[in-house]
Amino acid sequence: MTAIQLQKDWSINPNVRNTFSTLIDMSGWYIYQNHTWLKTHGWTVKFTSNGITGPSSNADAVDRIISNAAASVRGTSATAIQSWTVLTSSDGVQLLFAFQAAGVSPTGDDIIRISYSPGGLYVINVTDSRFQPTATDEVVITTGNSIVNATASADRVMTIWAADDGTAWSNILFRSLTHQTTFGFEKINNYCATGVFAKPYVAYRYTAFDRSVNPGGAGPVYDASSTAAGVATWTGTLARVFTAGASRTTRLGGGTIQTAAVGGSSLSIEDVFLSNTPALQNGTMPLFPLFWTGEKAANLDGFIGTPTDWWVGMSGSISTPAFNDFFPGFNPTDVPGVSGGQTGIGDARTNWFIAIGSTMIRPWKNAAASILTS
- What's this model's pTM, rounded to 2 decimal places? 0.92
Check whether residue 302 and residue 360 sit in a common domain. Answer: no
Q: How far apart are CA 180 and CA 186, in angstroms?
A: 20
Total domain count for the chain? 2
Q: Are strands 349-357 and 236-243 parallel, antiparallel or unpaired?
A: unpaired
Residue at 4 is within a domain: no
Check whether residue 291 and residue 353 sit in a common domain. Answer: no
Residue at 43 is within a domain: yes
Q: How far apart are CA 248 and CA 230, in angstroms?
A: 13
Residue at 348 is within a domain: yes
Provide the domain limits for residue 191: 15-253+286-315
pLDDT (tens digit, 9 = 90+) per residue, 236-283? 888 999 999 999 998 887 655 443 334 444 444 455 577 778 888 887
Sheet order of strands, 94-98 included: 44-50, 83-88, 94-98, 113-117, 139-142
Check whether residue 221 and residue 331 sit in a common domain. Answer: no
Check whether residue 125 and residue 267 sit in a common domain. Answer: no
Q: How far apart are CA 240 and CA 272, in angstroms?
A: 36
pLDDT (tens digit, 9 = 90+) per residue, 68-118? 999 999 999 999 999 999 999 999 999 999 999 999 999 999 999 999 999
Task: Write the burial class of residue 104 (CB in 10 Å: 0-12 exposed, 13-18 middle, 19+ buried).
Answer: exposed
pLDDT at 272: 59
Check whether residue 238 and residue 307 sit in a common domain. Answer: yes
pLDDT at 266: 42
pLDDT at 287: 85
Candidates 100, 118, 117; CA nearest to 109 is: 100
Check whether residue 329 and residue 242 sit in a common domain. Answer: no
Other Cβ atoms less than 10 A from the Cβ of 44: the count is: 16
Check whether residue 150 and residue 187 sit in a common domain. Answer: yes
Residue at 132 is within a domain: yes
Candidates 179, 187, 184, 174; CA nearest to 236 is: 184
* Residue numbers of the chain with a pLDDT score lower than 70: 1-2, 210-226, 254-272
